[in-house]
């Protein structure tokens, strides 16, 4: 008898488990399943995501409902659409040999009528997000007055997200005799209150020590100055060429800014946050699962329910406000028995938070130092050598070999190896030999403007700042205005910067060499019948560029500008593309890619727009979703509505 058979599960479930390849029950399954099968009981289970808790409640619920009865018998509430769909899929997989069981997912952002129609056909199990469920109850589209089971999954997260009222309202329309099973990673007061209010003598089970981090996750922190946060992130990525990670930021704005900066610097990254449309989020998640994205930069809320195996690192670019949230973050890695690392980039003033987290997760952090440039070069070099060793040769290349041999035949084997590796290596070494080490330099003199951790540009003087009489009233935001100016003035991707859009007017910068052109061309342009007026502003706005379009003083000197981009990553491809989220047909992997990221960023880049925000850190508004995230339908020119 295998261990699943000992739990008392039915033949059809055991068959499905065999198909799924689960060999042994996880701890939460071992503890919860026999109890839930045997008794009609309420239960509180403290278990994190990744512990197998979906099956821990899913198997018993499937076994206990009556497939011949079409009424809704079980309601599973979950915090996010992603998790809701994930649970629905899992339950469908588990119940595939049970005849007549229907599971319906109910969540916002999709047609409520379609969902209602599906429920009408008979849904014994509904998996729902609280907001949409409440909506359906209010409209009389669902009947949960006869359910036998209510499962609150990730209860702490649902309450974190402000669903208390909805949950209470939903629960109050369910019968008192039902069993409630509450699953939560932590037990804050609000969760305990729900438990007290709606549950009768629940059996409590805890997986591992209460609130403890998963044993498969190791925790590291890196102490840096606030202004080096972004540089530290890049170095950590460079030092882990096969990184497949979720990078957590505190706000949507930082999430977007960090992702865009990473894309601009040649990494395969994308943002995931609540300002993206559902279609955009789905697209990002699809690419992340497909590993076309190596660094998913996410807010806590958006990352809930991400069920992607083999995430190697969770990076806390900024620590969460609520320390408990750290547990949720680090639980994204070290899943299904795999090892994972949770990294915190921390400043001196935040150090005390590390000790608080250690107390909560009952695990120690290891303090590590950001790798030096030379260490990164070594890692990358070896990685490249291994990549060359392991690459599968496509014999299409045979046709070209005679010509290639002609060019290279004079070189010895040693010379050839050196040169081959140098093709990629030179870029890294050239970059890193000019940068300073950034580890352990936290001095308490963190710059105010870097406190929020979003990448910033240097504010050097020397540029020409202009005032122009068009602004948001003309349907511009800083990105569309920048595009418009570049097109109208026929300037390059980095020639217009520090664009700051107000309602009736805007400011922007160029290098002084473009001043004459700007004044002459723009003052003779009409926008929808109105003359554009541009003047040189007294306010210099900061921000001069060197010839590479980088902020001067950045590359090499300050050590916090762009990482060495890979061939082609200067991205003229984005010019005029209008949107970054391209389909595969346009997306030949970029050349080379020292560091051999498992999937090079594709042409057009995630989050890539015609111009990523470089100087616009000063803009007081976050990039808006439809414009900033690859919405190819974004008008290139302003429209009047």
If one asks whether residue 55 binds ligand AMP (CB under 6 A), the answer comes out as yes
According to the 3-state scheme, what is the secondary structure of 215-284? Answer: CCEEEEEEECCHHHHHHHHHHHHHHCCCCCEEEECCCHHHHHHHHHHHHHCCCCEEEECCCCCHHHHHHH
CB of residue 76 to ligand AMP, shortest distance in Å: 12
User: Is the CB of 82 or the CB of 231 nearer to ligand AMP?
Assistant: 82
User: Token match 């440039």: residue?
Assistant: 373
CB contact set of 157 (below 8 Å; sequence gap of 6+): 79, 80, 185, 304, 328
- For residue 264, state whether it binds ligand AMP (rule: CB under 6 A): no
By CB under 6 A, residue 157 contacts ligand AMP: no
Taking CB under 6 A as the binding criterion, the range among 23-31, 163-171, 241-249, 608-616 that sits at the site for ligand AMP is 23-31
- Tell me: does residue 59 bind ligand AMP (CB under 6 A): no
Q: Which of 7, 32, 54, 623 binds ligand AMP (CB under 6 A)?
A: 54
End-to-end CA distance of the chain: 69
Using rule CB under 6 A, residue 50 touches ligand AMP:
yes
The reply to whether 279 sits near ligand AMP by the rule CB under 6 A is no
Pick the binder of ligand AMP from 209, 279, 336, 401 (CB under 6 A).
Answer: 336
Residues contacting residue 193 through CB under 8 Å, at least 6 positions apart: none
- CB nearer ligand AMP, residue 154 or residue 231: 154
- Chain centroid to CA 330: how far? 13
Least gap, CB of 84 to ligand AMP (angstroms): 13
Query: Can you read off the two tokens belonging to residue 64?
Result: 């206990």
Q: Which one, 27 or 358, has the nearer CB to ligand AMP?
A: 27
Alpha helices in 365-475 (DSSP H): 373-390, 401-408, 413-432
Q: Which stretch binds ligand AMP (CB under 6 A): 52-60, 180-188, 533-541, 604-612?
A: 52-60
**Which stretch in 34-42, 46-54, 174-182, 518-526 sits in contact with ligand AMP by CB under 6 A?**
46-54
Residue among 313 and 332 whose Cβ is closer to ligand AMP: 332
Q: Tell me if 247 sits within 8 A of 271, measured CB to CB.
A: no
Closer CB to ligand AMP, 24 or 632, in the complex:
24
Q: Is 229 in the site for ligand AMP (CB under 6 A)?
A: no
Judged by beta carbon, residue 22 or residue 163, the one nearer ligand AMP is 22
| Contact region with ligand AMP (CB under 6 A), list: 25-33, 97-105, 388-396, 536-544 | 25-33
Beta partners for 43? 181, 203
* Residues 294-323 interacting with ligand AMP (rule: CB under 6 A): 307
214 binds ligand AMP (CB under 6 A): no
Helix (H, G, I), strand (E, B) or coil at 423: helix
Among 9, 13, 16, 22, contact with ligand AMP (rule: CB under 6 A): 22
One of 43, 52, 157, 435 touching ligand AMP (CB under 6 A): 52
Using the rule CB under 6 A, is 218 a contact of ligand AMP? no
204 contacts: CB under 8 Å, gap ≥ 6:
43, 44, 45, 46
72, exposed or middle or buried, with CB in 10 Å at 0-12, 13-18, 19+?
buried
Q: By CB under 6 A, is residue 82 in contact with ligand AMP?
A: no
Strand order in the sheet with 340-346: 269-272, 295-298, 245-248, 313-316, 340-346, 217-223, 365-368
Quote the CA–CA distance of 63 and 60 in Å, as a whole number: 5
Residue 107 phi, psi (nearest 5): -155, 160
**Closest separation in Å from C-beta 307 to ligand AMP:** 6
| Contacting residue, 33, 46, 51, 505, with ligand AMP by CB under 6 A | 51
53 binds ligand AMP (CB under 6 A): yes
Based on the shown chain and the rule CB under 6 A, indicate whether residue 25 belongs to the binding site for ligand AMP: yes
Question: In angstroms, how far is CA 121 from the centroid of its own chain?
Answer: 36
Residues interacting with ligand AMP, by CB under 6 A? Answer: 22, 24-26, 29, 49-55, 307, 335-336
């Amino acid at each position: 008898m295998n261990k699943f058979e000992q739990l008392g599960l039915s033949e059809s479930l055991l068959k499905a488990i065999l198909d799924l390849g689960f060999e042994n029950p996880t701890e939460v399954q071992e503890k919860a399943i026999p109890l839930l099968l045997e008794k009609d009981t309420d239960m509180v289970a403290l278990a994190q995501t990744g512990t197998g808790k979906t099956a821990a409640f899913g198997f018993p619920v499937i076994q206990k409902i009556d497939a011949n009865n079409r009424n809704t018998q079980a309601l599973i509430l979950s915090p996010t659409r992603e998790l809701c769909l994930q649970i629905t899929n899992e339950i469908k997989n588990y119940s595939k040999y049970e005849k007549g069981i229907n599971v319906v997912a109910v969540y916002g952002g999709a047609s409520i009528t379609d969902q209602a129609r599906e429920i009408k056909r008979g849904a014994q199990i509904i998996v729902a997000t609280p907001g949409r469920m409440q909506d359906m109850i209010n409209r009389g589209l669902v009947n949960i007055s006869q359910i036998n089971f209510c499962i609150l999954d990730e209860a702490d997260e649902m309450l974190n997200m402000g669903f208390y009222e909805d949950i209470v309202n939903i629960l109050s329309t369910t019968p008192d005799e039902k069993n409630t099973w509450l699953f939560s990673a932590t037990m804050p007061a609000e969760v305990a209150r729900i438990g007290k209010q709606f549950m009768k003598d629940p059996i409590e089970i805890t997986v591992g020590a209460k609130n403890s981090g998963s044993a498969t996750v190791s925790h590291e922190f890196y102490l840096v100055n606030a202004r080096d946060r972004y540089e530290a992130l890049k170095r950590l990525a460079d030092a882990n060429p096969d990184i497949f990670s979720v990078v957590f930021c505190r706000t949507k704005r930082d999430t977007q800014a960090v992702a865009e900066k990473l894309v601009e610097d040649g990494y395969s990254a994308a943002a995931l946050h609540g300002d993206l449309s559902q279609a955009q989020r789905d697209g990002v998640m699809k690419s992340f699962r497909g590993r076309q994205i190596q660094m998913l930069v996410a807010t806590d809320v958006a990352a809930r329910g991400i069920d992607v195996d083999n995430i190697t690192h969770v990076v806390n670019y900024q620590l969460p406000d609520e320390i408990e949230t750290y547990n949720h973050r680090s639980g994204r890695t070290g899943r299904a028995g795999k090892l994972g690392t949770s990294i915190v980039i921390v400043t001196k003033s935040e150090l005390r938070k590390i000790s608080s987290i250690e107390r909560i997760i009952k695990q120690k952090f290891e303090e590590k130092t950001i790798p030096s440039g030379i260490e990164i070069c070594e890692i990358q070099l070896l990685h490249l050598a291994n990549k060359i060793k392991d690459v599968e040769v496509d014999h299409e290349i045979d046709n070209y070999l005679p010509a290639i041999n002609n060019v290279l035949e004079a070189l010895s084997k040693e010379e050839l190896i050196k040169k081959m590796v140098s093709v990629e290596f030179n870029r890294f070494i050239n970059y890193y030999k000019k940068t300073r080490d950034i580890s352990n330099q936290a001095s308490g003199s963190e710059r105010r403007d870097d406190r929020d951790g979003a990448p910033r540009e240097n504010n050097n003087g020397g540029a020409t700042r202009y005032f122009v009489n068009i602004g948001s009233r003309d349907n511009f935001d800083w990105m569309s205005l920048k595009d418009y100016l570049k097109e109208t003035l026929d300037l390059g991707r980095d020639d217009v910067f520090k664009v700051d859009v107000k309602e009736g007017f805007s400011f922007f910068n160029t290098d002084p060499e473009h001043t004459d052109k700007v004044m002459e061309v723009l003052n003779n342009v009409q926008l929808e019948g109105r003359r554009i007026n541009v003047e040189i502003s007294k306010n210099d706005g900061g921000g001069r560029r060197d010839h590479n379009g980088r902020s001067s003083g950045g590359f090499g000197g300050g050590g916090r500008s762009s990482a060495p981009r890979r061939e082609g990553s200067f991205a003229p491809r984005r010019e005029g593309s209008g949107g970054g989220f391209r389909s595969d047909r346009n997306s030949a992997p970029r050349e080379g890619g020292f560091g051999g990221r498992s999937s090079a960023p594709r042409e057009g880049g995630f989050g890539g727009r015609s111009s990523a925000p470089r100087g616009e850190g000063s803009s007081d508004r976050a990039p808006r979703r439809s414009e900033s995230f690859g919405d190819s339908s974004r008008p290139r020119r302003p429209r009047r509505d």
